[in-house]
Amino acid sequence: MMCVGRSPSRFKRIRIAVVDDHPLVREGLAARISTQPDWEVCCGAADPEEALALIRAGGPDLAIVDLALKHGSGLDLIKQLAANTPAPKILVVSAYEEELFAERVLRAGAQGYLNKQELHGSVIEAIRTVLRGGVYLSAAMTERIAKQVISGQGAPRGLDALSNREMQVFELIGHGQGTREIAEQLRLSVHTIESHRENIRMKLGLRNGTELLRRAVSWALGGGD
């Protein structure tokens, strides 16, 4: 979908890009956004490469980005968009656990995180918060971060200890992909993926590749940290 240019008007409309690999999600977000008279969806994309080209060409005010995309990573896309001049505001809308990914997306350059389970009731509020320069997180996540600041954050444990790239590899393992498949999707060498697998195994205290696979599959199916 091409990014729609600004149309002549006395009133400046807020232009929003939607990046999600599910067409129904893109359509649902577009429908919600269209309820606001001064907002419009200017473009939509399913993968990072397409999204980056459209957003750079069209210059939207805000990009809504999922973390799970075709042929790439939403986290990598966020970093690339945040490096743009000017950079759009970025709101992540994802089904992944907020506790695990909210801080990661903020460090990558996003301004908010909304779980898809809260999409219908909270997306307008989340967009407005990010557009006016605020940070949007759930009340529970905001409280958690505040407590970490007050108490002093200790060494990360469990999945929190994994780097962004290690989390990507862990997720793909959980979805049944082998080392070579992961290497092709992330455009890395097989040796690099093997190194990531070993680092993940050690950080999670797992004895072998079988335990790593079980842990990753359990997490992908919603079995928790």
Total domains in the chain come to 2
Domain final position from 148, 172, 200 = 148
**69 neighbors 31 (Cβ within 8 angstroms):** no
205 vs 4: CA distance, rounded Å: 50
**64 neighbors 33 (Cβ within 8 angstroms):** no
One domain, residues 59 and 141: yes
* Residue 113, number of CB atoms within 10 A of its CB: 25
Q: Is residue 117 part of a domain?
A: yes
For residue range 40-73, what is the model confidence (pLDDT) as tens digits? 999 899 999 999 999 988 889 999 999 988 888 8
One domain, residues 43 and 66: yes
Q: Is residue 2 part of a domain?
A: no
Q: Is residue 5 part of a domain?
A: no
One domain, residues 62 and 144: yes
The crossing angle, in degrees rounded to 10, of helices 164-174 and 98-108 is 140
Domain that holds residue 211: 158-220
pLDDT at 99 over 90: no
Q: Is residue 50 part of a domain?
A: yes
Which CATH number belongs to the domain containing residue 203 in this structure? Answer: 1.10.10.10
Q: Is 0.85 topped by the overall pTM? A: no
One domain, residues 108 and 167: no
One domain, residues 133 and 190: no
One domain, residues 69 and 109: yes
One domain, residues 143 and 162: no
**Residues sharing a CB contact under 8 Å with residue 167, sequence separation 6 or more, in sequence order:** 100, 104, 159
For residue range 105-146, what is the model confidence (pLDDT) as tens digits? 998 999 999 999 888 889 999 999 999 999 999 888 888 877
One domain, residues 93 and 20: yes
Domain final position from 148, 167, 185 = 148
Which CATH number belongs to the domain containing residue 108 in this structure? Answer: 3.40.50.2300
One domain, residues 70 and 133: yes
One domain, residues 131 and 164: no
One domain, residues 213 and 112: no
Domain final position from 105, 120, 148 = 148
pLDDT at 4 over 80: no
Q: How far is CA 108 from CA 51, 80, 152, 153, 164, in A?
A: 17, 9, 22, 19, 9
pLDDT score, position 16? 96
For residue range 12-41, what is the model confidence (pLDDT) as tens digits? 789 999 999 999 999 999 999 999 999 999
For residue range 144-203, what is the model confidence (pLDDT) as tens digits? 877 776 766 655 667 888 888 888 899 899 989 999 999 988 888 999 999 889 888 888
One domain, residues 67 and 173: no
- 3-state class (DSSP) for residue 130: helix
Position 8 confidence tier, pLDDT thresholds 50, 70, 90: very low
